[in-house]
Chains A and B, each alone.
Chain A
Amino acid sequence: MKTQTVLRLNIAGLIITLLTVAAALVWAFPLYWGVISSLKPEDEVVRPYVELWPETLTFSHYIFALTQTQIGVWYINSIATALGVTVLTVSSSLLCGYAISQLEFPLRKSFWWLILASFMVPTQTLIINHFELIASMKLLNSWAGIILPQLIHPVIIIVYKQFFDNVPKDFREAAVMDNASEWRILTRIYIPMNWGVTTALSIVVFIWSWNAFLWPFLAVTKTEMMTITVGITQVNDSFGVYYARELSAAVLAGLPVALAYLIFQRKVTQAVTLSAGIKG
Chain B
Amino acid sequence: MLRNRRIEGLMALALISPFLAIYGLVFVYPTIKMFMLSFTDAPLIGAGDWVGLENYERLPRDRRFHTSLWNTFYFIVLTVIPGTLIALAIALGVSRLKGWLQSFVLALFFLPYILPVSVVYLIWDWTLNFQFGIAMHLLDWLGLDRVPVTKSTDWFMPAIGVVTIWWTAGFSILLLLAARRAIPVEIYEAASLDNSGGWSTFSRITWPLMWPVTALVLTIQLILQMKIFDQVYLFSQGGRPNDNMVLVYYVFQRAFQSNQGGRAAAVAVVLFFIVIVVSVMNFQLTRLSRGRDK
Size bin of chain B's contact surface: 35 or more
A121 contact set on B, CB distance < 8 A? 27, 31, 272, 275-276
Is B189 on the interface with A (CB-CB < 8 A)?
no
B80 contact set on A, CB distance < 8 A? none
Q: Are A104 and B5 in contact (CB under 8 A)?
A: yes
| Complex CA distance for A111 and B15, rounded to whole angstroms | 13
Number of residues of chain A lying within 8 A (CB) of chain B: 98
Nearest chain A CB to B163 CB, angstrom units: 9
| Complex CA distance for A20 and B118, rounded to whole angstroms | 28
A213 contact set on B, CB distance < 8 A? 116-118, 230
| Complex CA distance for A263 and B253, rounded to whole angstroms | 40
Of B56-64, B102-110, B152-160, which stretch is located at the interface? B102-110
User: Given known contacts A99-B15, A128-B34, A233-B234, is B122 in contact with A122 (CB within 8 Å)?
Assistant: no
Of A54-62, A194-202, A245-253, which stretch is located at the interface? A245-253
Task: Tell which of A9, A37, A127 has the most Cβ of chain B within 10 Å.
Answer: A127
Q: Are A135 and B268 in contact (CB under 8 A)?
A: no
**Chain A 7-29 interface mask (CB, 8 Å, partner B; 1/0):** 00100110011011101110110
| Complex CA distance for A106 and B97, rounded to whole angstroms | 51
User: Given known contacts A17-B96, A128-B37, A148-B25, is B114 in contact with A211 (CB within 8 Å)?
Assistant: yes
In chain B, positions 87-110 with a C-beta closer than 8 Å to chain A are 90, 93-94, 96-97, 101, 103, 105, 107-110
Query: Interface residues, chain A, CB within 8 Å of chain B?
Result: 5, 9, 12-13, 16-17, 19-21, 23-25, 27-28, 30-31, 33-34, 37, 45-50, 88, 91-93, 95-96, 98-100, 103-106, 108, 111, 118, 120-133, 135, 148-149, 151-152, 157, 176-177, 182-183, 207, 210-211, 213-214, 218, 228-230, 232-233, 243, 246-247, 249-251, 253-254, 257-258, 260-262, 265, 268-269, 272-273, 276-278, 280
Q: Can you report 15 A-B residue pairs in the complex whose CB atoms are below 8 A from each other?
A: A16-B93, A19-B93, A30-B134, A91-B18, A121-B276, A128-B255, A130-B30, A132-B45, A148-B25, A149-B26, A152-B22, A213-B117, A229-B117, A246-B126, A273-B178
Supply 12 further A-B pairs (C-beta < 8 A) apart from A91-B18, A128-B265, A251-B119: A19-B93, A34-B123, A99-B16, A105-B8, A121-B276, A126-B31, A129-B31, A176-B1, A243-B129, A247-B122, A250-B123, A265-B107
Query: Interface residues, chain B, CB within 8 Å of chain A?
Result: 1, 3, 5, 8-9, 11-13, 15-16, 18-19, 22-23, 25-27, 29-31, 33-34, 37, 44-45, 90, 93-94, 96-97, 101, 103, 105, 107-112, 114-119, 121-124, 126-127, 129, 131-132, 134, 137, 166, 171, 174-175, 178-179, 192, 195, 198, 213, 216, 220, 223, 226-227, 229-230, 234, 248, 251-252, 255-256, 261, 264-265, 268-269, 271-272, 275-276, 279-280, 283
